[in-house]
Amino acid sequence: MNIILLGPPGAGKGTLANKIKEEKDAVQIATGDIFRYNISNETDLGLKAKAYMDRGDLVPDELTVDLVWDAFDKIDSKDDKKIVLFDGFPRTIDQAKALDLGMKERGQKIDQVVYFDVDEDILVERISGRRVCTNCGATFHVKNNPPKVEGVCDVCGEKLIQRDDDTEKTVEKRIHVYNSQTAVLIDYYKDQGILLSIDGTNSPDEVFDEFNDKLGEIS
């Protein structure tokens, strides 16, 4: 089952993906995480992507689409029960069309799009308080979801950091970019009849419950 997690920066896409992975047979393809991995390893892709990300702009489609297929084609089994979560992809109409086409070529389809409905004013607060693990990618929040020991990952014990693009100025730019380039995908998938809206202002556990309830109703 192929599921897209769609929503503005800070909506809780990564947080929900982690909960789904803990409880279900699921894999996550998070383009932002793949770029950050390449940046920390100083690959060519990382060097190219960094300038766009630091500014809060989208990385060009031609650098993004291929790496999604690389990751997707590495997943061994794609039976009906295995969940593939697209986190942060697609983000433009062209990416969505490329995804539809590539799925068709593989005899697959996008089954559901989970849209996180969240008011803009809480996004900045969530992102500026976010801390991420340098090792396993687990995500925390200084107030909403603090780690047991400050600055230390509950999952693996490594150091927590603030992402380079989590400054207030860059966050505002990312929200603007989302509104101007990504939000059109809500109607794109509504028209396909596969959009499922979730109240992203609720707590992470409530978001997970709503995801399970709504997915249970349709599958």
Q: Which residues are catalytic?
A: 13, 91, 130, 163, 174
Residues whose CB is less than 8 angstroms from the CB of residue 187 and which lie 6 or more positions away in sequence, other chains included? none
Do the beta carbons of residue 135 and residue 216 sit within 8 Å?
A: no
| Residue 14 lies near Mg ion (rule: CB under 5 A) | yes
| Residue 130 lies near ligand AP5 (rule: CB under 6 A) | yes
| Residue 10 lies near ligand AP5 (rule: CB under 6 A) | yes
Out of 108, 145, 197, 212, the only residue in the binding site for ligand AP5 (CB under 6 A) is 145
Angle among Cα 91, 34, 17 to the nearest 5 degrees reads 70
Which tokens in the block code for residue 15?
């947080």
- The rounded distance, in Å, linking the Cα atoms of 88 and 108 is 19
Out of 1, 85, 133, 141, the only residue in the binding site for ligand AP5 (CB under 6 A) is 141
Output 141 or 195, the one with its CB closest to ligand AP5. 141
User: Which region, judged by CB under 6 A, interacts with ligand AP5, from 87-95, 102-110, 184-192, 210-218?
Assistant: 87-95
| Residue 133 lies near Zn ion (rule: CB under 5 A) | yes
Distances (CA, A) of 4 to 7, 99, 169: 10, 11, 27
Distances (CA, A) of 13 to 62, 111, 113, 119: 23, 17, 12, 15
Out of 84, 138, 171, 175, the only residue in the binding site for Zn ion (CB under 5 A) is 138
| Residue 3 lies near ligand AP5 (rule: CB under 6 A) | no
Please report, as residue ranges, which positions from 140 to 169 form the binding site for Mg ion (by CB under 5 A): none
Do the beta carbons of residue 117 and residue 128 sit within 8 Å?
A: no
| Binding stretches for ligand AP5 (CB under 6 A) | 7, 9-15, 31-32, 35, 52-53, 56-59, 64, 88-89, 91, 95, 126-127, 129-130, 139-141, 144-145, 165, 174, 202-204, 207
